[in-house]
Structure 1
Amino acid sequence: NKRDRSRQAASDAVAQTGALPVTPPEPAVRARGSDPFSGELRRREVLPLLVLHLIAAGPTYGNQLMDRIAGMTEGVLSVNPNTMYPLLRRLEQRGLIEGQWEHPERRTRRFYSITQEGREEYGRLMEEVRPFLDSVARSIDDIVRELYG
């Protein structure tokens, strides 16, 4: 294909100069996502619960939510925009939160507030997610105890 021909032409040009040895490129390795909310924490609805909790405390926007989550976990859990913004859209589509543009004519920041339906879902998730979070906390305590006595 065109990309392979282009790579080959560049490789041949470098080889002609003698400046660099020509070696075939290594196949690309995809890094695993560093977003912890892509696995078990997502399946257990921890992030939606946390987002509803933070929004229930007062209107906030996506970047502020990401910063607050990273801050409260000292950076251990960080959420990337590719996770946060689709989640906010889903919560809004479900009627759990409402978004308002700070400056509608410029669409700068969208502030989210929790709805009555969102408060009800928040209560449900609080009960549903607690056993999982308790299990995670016990597991971490066990690891620390095993390693450090």
Structure 2
Amino acid sequence: MPIEEDLFEKLRVELRRGSLVLAVLGALREERYGYTLRTSLEEAGLPIDEGALYPLLRRLETQGLLTSEWREEAKRNKRFYRLSPDGLEILARLLGEWNAISESILRLTGKDK
């Protein structure tokens, strides 16, 4: 891989990492368990490995942004996640920030015309 592609890939991963938090919070306005969350992210164009998703979910829950509960479904125990009230507030604030950043970038790059 040429150096330019390697550099691009590193920067792409860095950009994507922050976006995934916002995507996960947005997707969890509806209750989901890990597999359906992962599938919905992938269908939206944001695939994520299980090895990255579950630590992210645990961190967001520890931060008070998600709640979870174990339930049996189809004879299997599954952990269901959803936004907490604090998570809903943070999501709204982060979306506002995301939109402001996006508008600024579009203005700076001349893509807002």
Aligned to 1:112, what secondary structure does the other structure show?
strand
Aligned to 1:109, what secondary structure does the other structure show?
strand
Q: Is 107-116 or 61-70 further displaced after alignment?
A: 107-116
**Paired residues, number:** 99
Deviations 1:46-71, CA, capped at 9 Å, x for gaps: 11111111111x21011111111111
Is 2:28 aligned against 1:59?
no
Runs of 5+ unmatched residues, structure 2: 1-8
Partner of 2:90: 121
Are 1:37 and 1:47, in contact at CA under 8 Å, matched by a contact in 2?
A: no
Runs of 5+ unmatched residues, structure 1: 1-33, 143-149
| Cα distance in 1 between the residues matched to 2:87 and 2:28 | 10
- Out of 63, 68, 71, the residue aligned to residue 43 of structure 2 is 71
Aligned to 2:77, what secondary structure does the other structure show?
coil
Tell me the percent identity.
30
Aligned to 1:113, what secondary structure does the other structure show?
strand
| Aligned structure 1 segments of 4 or more residues deviating by more than 3 angstroms | 131-136
Residue 71 of structure 1 aligns with an amino acid whose one-letter code is E
Q: What TM-score, normalized by structure 1, do the two folds share? A: 0.56
Deviations 1:80-106, CA, capped at 9 Å, x for gaps: 011110110001001111010113xx9
Structure number having the greater strand percentage: 2
Partner of 2:63: 94
Residue 22 of structure 2 aligns with an amino acid whose one-letter code is L
